[in-house]
Amino acid sequence: MVNSYFTTSLDEALEIRNTKPVIPYAGGTDLMIKADDQASYLFLNKIPELKQIREDEEYIRIGACATYSEVLHHRLTPQILKDAIIELAAPAIRNLGTVGGNVCNGSPKGDSALIFFVTDALLRLGSSRGEHTLPIKEFYLGRKKLALQNDELLLEILIPKKGLEHYYYKKIGARNALAISRVSFAGILNVEEGRIKNCATAFGAVSDVVVRRPDIDQMMIGKTIDEAKDTKKEYLAAYDETIVPIRGRVSAEYRKSVCMNLLQDFLETNGI
Protein backbone atom coordinates (compact mmCIF):
# COMPACT_ATOMS: atom_id res chain seq x y z
CA MET A 1 0.00 0.00 0.00
CA VAL A 2 1.30 3.44 -0.86
CA ASN A 3 0.53 6.52 1.24
CA SER A 4 -2.36 5.20 3.25
CA TYR A 5 -3.88 7.40 5.92
CA PHE A 6 -5.02 6.59 9.45
CA THR A 7 -6.82 9.17 11.55
CA THR A 8 -9.20 9.34 14.49
CA SER A 9 -10.50 12.78 13.49
CA LEU A 10 -13.43 13.15 11.11
CA ASP A 11 -12.35 16.66 10.10
CA GLU A 12 -8.92 15.36 9.20
CA ALA A 13 -10.41 12.45 7.27
CA LEU A 14 -12.58 14.84 5.25
CA GLU A 15 -9.57 17.04 4.58
CA ILE A 16 -7.56 14.05 3.34
CA ARG A 17 -10.49 12.91 1.21
CA ASN A 18 -10.63 16.42 -0.28
CA THR A 19 -6.97 16.74 -1.09
CA LYS A 20 -5.67 13.23 -1.87
CA PRO A 21 -6.83 10.54 -4.27
CA VAL A 22 -7.74 8.08 -1.50
CA ILE A 23 -10.15 5.16 -1.36
CA PRO A 24 -12.25 5.17 1.84
CA TYR A 25 -11.62 1.95 3.78
CA ALA A 26 -14.04 0.87 6.53
CA GLY A 27 -13.86 -2.86 7.31
CA GLY A 28 -12.18 -3.80 4.04
CA THR A 29 -14.29 -6.94 3.58
CA ASP A 30 -15.35 -5.86 0.09
CA LEU A 31 -12.23 -3.88 -0.80
CA MET A 32 -9.76 -6.59 0.11
CA ILE A 33 -11.27 -9.02 -2.35
CA LYS A 34 -9.57 -6.93 -5.02
CA ALA A 35 -6.74 -5.45 -2.94
CA ASP A 36 -4.69 -2.95 -4.93
CA ASP A 37 -1.03 -2.54 -3.91
CA GLN A 38 -0.85 0.79 -5.65
CA ALA A 39 -3.98 2.28 -4.09
CA SER A 40 -3.92 4.85 -1.34
CA TYR A 41 -6.47 4.05 1.37
CA LEU A 42 -8.09 6.30 3.95
CA PHE A 43 -8.84 4.18 7.04
CA LEU A 44 -12.10 5.26 8.66
CA ASN A 45 -12.70 2.60 11.27
CA LYS A 46 -11.04 4.41 14.18
CA ILE A 47 -13.10 7.59 13.89
CA PRO A 48 -15.47 7.64 16.90
CA GLU A 49 -18.14 9.84 15.23
CA LEU A 50 -18.51 7.29 12.45
CA LYS A 51 -19.10 4.42 14.87
CA GLN A 52 -21.82 5.96 17.02
CA ILE A 53 -25.34 4.55 17.17
CA ARG A 54 -27.77 7.09 18.59
CA GLU A 55 -31.30 8.38 18.25
CA ASP A 56 -33.20 11.60 17.90
CA GLU A 57 -36.95 12.09 18.00
CA GLU A 58 -37.55 10.67 14.54
CA TYR A 59 -34.58 8.49 13.63
CA ILE A 60 -32.17 5.81 14.75
CA ARG A 61 -28.84 7.16 13.51
CA ILE A 62 -26.23 4.54 12.71
CA GLY A 63 -22.65 5.67 12.08
CA ALA A 64 -21.38 4.48 8.69
CA CYS A 65 -18.47 2.63 10.31
CA ALA A 66 -20.51 0.74 12.89
CA THR A 67 -19.78 -2.94 12.31
CA TYR A 68 -22.53 -5.48 11.88
CA SER A 69 -21.70 -6.94 15.29
CA GLU A 70 -21.98 -3.52 16.92
CA VAL A 71 -25.29 -2.83 15.17
CA LEU A 72 -26.63 -6.31 15.98
CA HIS A 73 -25.98 -5.93 19.70
CA HIS A 74 -27.17 -2.35 20.07
CA ARG A 75 -30.40 -1.68 21.96
CA LEU A 76 -31.63 0.86 19.39
CA THR A 77 -31.34 -1.44 16.39
CA PRO A 78 -34.76 -2.42 14.99
CA GLN A 79 -35.45 -6.15 14.73
CA ILE A 80 -35.82 -6.03 10.93
CA LEU A 81 -32.17 -4.96 10.64
CA LYS A 82 -31.06 -7.50 13.24
CA ASP A 83 -32.78 -10.27 11.26
CA ALA A 84 -30.83 -9.30 8.14
CA ILE A 85 -27.53 -9.14 10.03
CA ILE A 86 -28.04 -12.55 11.65
CA GLU A 87 -28.16 -14.07 8.17
CA LEU A 88 -25.29 -12.00 6.84
CA ALA A 89 -21.87 -13.65 6.41
CA ALA A 90 -20.08 -15.28 9.35
CA PRO A 91 -19.27 -13.64 12.71
CA ALA A 92 -15.68 -12.92 11.62
CA ILE A 93 -16.93 -10.80 8.70
CA ARG A 94 -19.63 -9.25 10.88
CA ASN A 95 -16.92 -8.07 13.29
CA LEU A 96 -15.19 -6.14 10.49
CA GLY A 97 -17.81 -5.32 7.85
CA THR A 98 -19.75 -2.10 8.28
CA VAL A 99 -23.20 -0.93 7.29
CA GLY A 100 -21.69 2.08 5.52
CA GLY A 101 -19.40 -0.21 3.52
CA ASN A 102 -22.42 -2.27 2.50
CA VAL A 103 -24.23 0.84 1.26
CA CYS A 104 -21.18 2.35 -0.47
CA ASN A 105 -20.18 -0.90 -2.13
CA GLY A 106 -23.17 -0.20 -4.34
CA SER A 107 -24.21 -3.82 -4.79
CA PRO A 108 -27.89 -4.74 -5.20
CA LYS A 109 -27.08 -7.81 -3.06
CA GLY A 110 -26.23 -5.81 0.06
CA ASP A 111 -28.31 -7.29 2.86
CA SER A 112 -28.29 -4.31 5.22
CA ALA A 113 -28.77 -1.94 2.24
CA LEU A 114 -32.04 -3.79 1.45
CA ILE A 115 -33.35 -2.96 4.91
CA PHE A 116 -32.31 0.68 4.48
CA PHE A 117 -34.29 0.71 1.23
CA VAL A 118 -37.50 -0.76 2.64
CA THR A 119 -37.40 1.60 5.62
CA ASP A 120 -36.75 4.59 3.30
CA ALA A 121 -33.63 5.44 5.26
CA LEU A 122 -31.78 8.69 4.76
CA LEU A 123 -28.03 8.96 4.24
CA ARG A 124 -25.99 11.78 5.72
CA LEU A 125 -23.02 12.60 3.51
CA GLY A 126 -20.22 14.95 4.43
CA SER A 127 -17.19 16.65 2.92
CA SER A 128 -15.04 19.57 3.96
CA ARG A 129 -17.53 21.71 1.98
CA GLY A 130 -20.39 20.74 4.30
CA GLU A 131 -23.06 18.07 4.77
CA HIS A 132 -26.30 17.00 3.18
CA THR A 133 -28.86 14.26 3.62
CA LEU A 134 -30.63 12.35 0.89
CA PRO A 135 -33.01 9.36 0.62
CA ILE A 136 -31.15 6.10 -0.03
CA LYS A 137 -33.08 5.62 -3.28
CA GLU A 138 -31.45 8.77 -4.68
CA PHE A 139 -27.96 7.58 -3.69
CA TYR A 140 -28.00 4.70 -6.16
CA LEU A 141 -27.74 5.89 -9.74
CA GLY A 142 -27.07 2.52 -11.38
CA ARG A 143 -24.86 -0.53 -11.02
CA LYS A 144 -22.02 0.57 -8.73
CA LYS A 145 -22.86 4.19 -9.55
CA LEU A 146 -23.43 6.31 -6.49
CA ALA A 147 -24.35 9.91 -5.79
CA LEU A 148 -21.13 10.20 -3.79
CA GLN A 149 -18.69 12.94 -4.79
CA ASN A 150 -14.94 12.28 -4.78
CA ASP A 151 -14.49 14.41 -1.68
CA GLU A 152 -17.42 12.95 0.25
CA LEU A 153 -17.85 10.25 2.88
CA LEU A 154 -20.99 8.55 4.08
CA LEU A 155 -21.31 9.63 7.70
CA GLU A 156 -24.56 8.21 8.98
CA ILE A 157 -27.64 6.18 8.07
CA LEU A 158 -30.95 7.42 9.50
CA ILE A 159 -33.74 4.88 9.90
CA PRO A 160 -37.22 6.06 10.92
CA LYS A 161 -37.97 4.91 14.47
CA LYS A 162 -41.66 4.30 13.98
CA GLY A 163 -43.63 1.79 11.96
CA LEU A 164 -41.01 -0.96 11.57
CA GLU A 165 -42.63 -3.64 13.74
CA HIS A 166 -44.79 -5.41 11.15
CA TYR A 167 -42.19 -6.59 8.72
CA TYR A 168 -41.39 -9.57 6.55
CA TYR A 169 -37.84 -10.49 5.57
CA LYS A 170 -36.51 -13.39 3.52
CA LYS A 171 -33.07 -13.98 2.07
CA ILE A 172 -32.72 -16.77 -0.43
CA GLY A 173 -29.13 -17.98 -0.75
CA ALA A 174 -27.40 -21.12 -1.90
CA ARG A 175 -27.62 -22.35 1.70
CA ASN A 176 -29.49 -21.26 4.79
CA ALA A 177 -26.68 -19.14 6.22
CA LEU A 178 -23.31 -17.66 5.29
CA ALA A 179 -24.39 -17.17 1.68
CA ILE A 180 -24.60 -14.11 -0.55
CA SER A 181 -28.22 -13.37 -1.52
CA ARG A 182 -29.59 -14.85 -4.71
CA VAL A 183 -32.79 -12.99 -4.07
CA SER A 184 -33.79 -11.05 -0.99
CA PHE A 185 -37.05 -9.40 -0.10
CA ALA A 186 -38.26 -7.15 2.68
CA GLY A 187 -41.74 -5.78 3.23
CA ILE A 188 -43.41 -3.61 5.83
CA LEU A 189 -47.15 -3.29 6.20
CA ASN A 190 -48.89 -1.29 8.90
CA VAL A 191 -52.60 -1.15 9.51
CA GLU A 192 -54.06 1.61 11.64
CA GLU A 193 -57.74 1.94 12.48
CA GLY A 194 -58.59 -0.72 9.90
CA ARG A 195 -56.72 0.87 7.01
CA ILE A 196 -53.27 0.25 5.54
CA LYS A 197 -51.14 3.16 6.67
CA ASN A 198 -47.88 2.06 5.10
CA CYS A 199 -46.92 -0.61 2.61
CA ALA A 200 -43.29 -0.79 1.53
CA THR A 201 -41.38 -3.48 -0.32
CA ALA A 202 -37.80 -3.91 -1.55
CA PHE A 203 -36.26 -6.62 -3.73
CA GLY A 204 -32.53 -7.29 -3.58
CA ALA A 205 -30.16 -9.05 -5.96
CA VAL A 206 -32.48 -8.86 -8.96
CA SER A 207 -31.47 -5.69 -10.79
CA ASP A 208 -28.58 -3.24 -10.88
CA VAL A 209 -30.12 -1.47 -7.90
CA VAL A 210 -32.46 -2.72 -5.16
CA VAL A 211 -36.02 -2.46 -6.49
CA ARG A 212 -38.08 -0.10 -4.33
CA ARG A 213 -41.27 1.23 -5.92
CA PRO A 214 -43.32 3.40 -3.55
CA ASP A 215 -45.54 4.37 -6.50
CA ILE A 216 -46.72 0.74 -6.81
CA ASP A 217 -46.98 0.22 -3.04
CA GLN A 218 -49.16 3.32 -2.95
CA MET A 219 -51.96 1.18 -4.50
CA MET A 220 -52.40 -0.49 -1.10
CA ILE A 221 -52.23 2.58 1.11
CA GLY A 222 -55.48 3.85 2.62
CA LYS A 223 -57.29 0.55 1.87
CA THR A 224 -58.92 -1.89 4.25
CA ILE A 225 -57.61 -5.47 4.07
CA ASP A 226 -60.71 -6.45 2.06
CA GLU A 227 -60.17 -3.59 -0.38
CA ALA A 228 -56.48 -4.57 -0.62
CA LYS A 229 -57.57 -8.10 -1.58
CA ASP A 230 -59.50 -6.59 -4.49
CA THR A 231 -56.38 -4.63 -5.53
CA LYS A 232 -54.04 -7.60 -5.14
CA LYS A 233 -54.21 -8.77 -8.75
CA GLU A 234 -53.41 -5.32 -10.12
CA TYR A 235 -50.63 -4.85 -7.52
CA LEU A 236 -48.98 -8.18 -8.36
CA ALA A 237 -49.28 -7.43 -12.08
CA ALA A 238 -47.50 -4.08 -11.60
CA TYR A 239 -44.57 -5.83 -9.90
CA ASP A 240 -44.65 -8.61 -12.46
CA GLU A 241 -44.02 -5.98 -15.11
CA THR A 242 -41.44 -4.08 -13.03
CA ILE A 243 -39.19 -6.93 -11.97
CA VAL A 244 -36.93 -7.84 -14.85
CA PRO A 245 -34.06 -9.73 -13.23
CA ILE A 246 -30.61 -9.74 -14.69
CA ARG A 247 -28.95 -13.11 -15.21
CA GLY A 248 -26.46 -13.92 -12.52
CA ARG A 249 -25.27 -17.23 -11.14
CA VAL A 250 -28.90 -18.30 -11.26
CA SER A 251 -31.35 -17.76 -14.08
CA ALA A 252 -33.46 -14.66 -14.46
CA GLU A 253 -36.60 -16.84 -14.57
CA TYR A 254 -35.73 -18.37 -11.19
CA ARG A 255 -35.15 -14.95 -9.63
CA LYS A 256 -38.40 -13.63 -11.05
CA SER A 257 -40.53 -16.48 -9.76
CA VAL A 258 -38.89 -16.30 -6.32
CA CYS A 259 -39.58 -12.55 -6.17
CA MET A 260 -43.22 -13.00 -7.05
CA ASN A 261 -43.63 -15.88 -4.58
CA LEU A 262 -42.10 -13.82 -1.78
CA LEU A 263 -44.31 -10.83 -2.61
CA GLN A 264 -47.37 -13.05 -2.57
CA ASP A 265 -46.31 -14.63 0.71
CA PHE A 266 -45.79 -11.16 2.21
CA LEU A 267 -49.36 -10.22 1.24
CA GLU A 268 -50.82 -13.50 2.50
CA THR A 269 -48.98 -13.15 5.80
CA ASN A 270 -50.82 -9.85 6.16
CA GLY A 271 -54.18 -11.44 5.37
CA ILE A 272 -54.30 -10.05 1.80
Are 152 and 134 within 8 A, CB to CB?
no
As a residue count, the chain comes to 272
Task: Single out the residue of 26, 189, 205, 210 in contact with ligand FAD (rule: CB under 6 A).
Answer: 26
- 35 makes contact with ligand FAD (CB under 6 A): no
Name the one range near ligand FAD by CB under 6 A: 29-37, 129-137, 187-195, 251-259: 29-37
Positive or negative torsion for Cα 126, 16, 29, 246: positive
135 or 163, CB closer to ligand FAD?
135
Question: What Rg do the C-alpha atoms of the chain give, in angstroms?
Answer: 19
Q: Using CB atoms within 10 Å of the CB of residue 242, give its burial: 0 to 12 exposed, 13 to 18 middle, 19+ buried.
A: middle
2 or 241, CB closer to ligand FAD?
2
Are 187 and 118 within 8 A, CB to CB?
yes
Task: Single out the residue of 10, 76, 93, 250 in contact with ligand FAD (rule: CB under 6 A).
Answer: 93
Task: Single out the residue of 3, 8, 23, 271 in contact with ligand FAD (rule: CB under 6 A).
Answer: 23
Name the one range near ligand FAD by CB under 6 A: 52-60, 94-102, 229-237, 246-254: 94-102
- 105 makes contact with ligand FAD (CB under 6 A): yes
Task: Single out the residue of 39, 180, 219, 260 in contact with ligand FAD (rule: CB under 6 A).
Answer: 180
What is the spatial distance between Cα 136 and Cα 269, in angstroms, rounded to a whole number?
27
174 or 237, CB closer to ligand FAD?
174
How many chain residues bind ligand FAD (CB under 6 A)?
28
Q: How far is CA 153 from CA 24, 26, 104, in A?
A: 8, 11, 9
Task: Single out the residue of 100, 108, 126, 245 in contact with ligand FAD (rule: CB under 6 A).
Answer: 100
E strands of the chain, at which residues? 5-6, 23-25, 41-43, 53-55, 59-63, 122-127, 130-135, 140-142, 145-146, 153-160, 167-172, 183-192, 195-204
Name the one range near ligand FAD by CB under 6 A: 101-109, 159-167, 238-246, 261-269: 101-109
Interface positions with ligand FAD (CB under 6 A) = 23-31, 44, 64, 88-89, 93, 96-98, 100-102, 104-105, 109-111, 153-154, 180
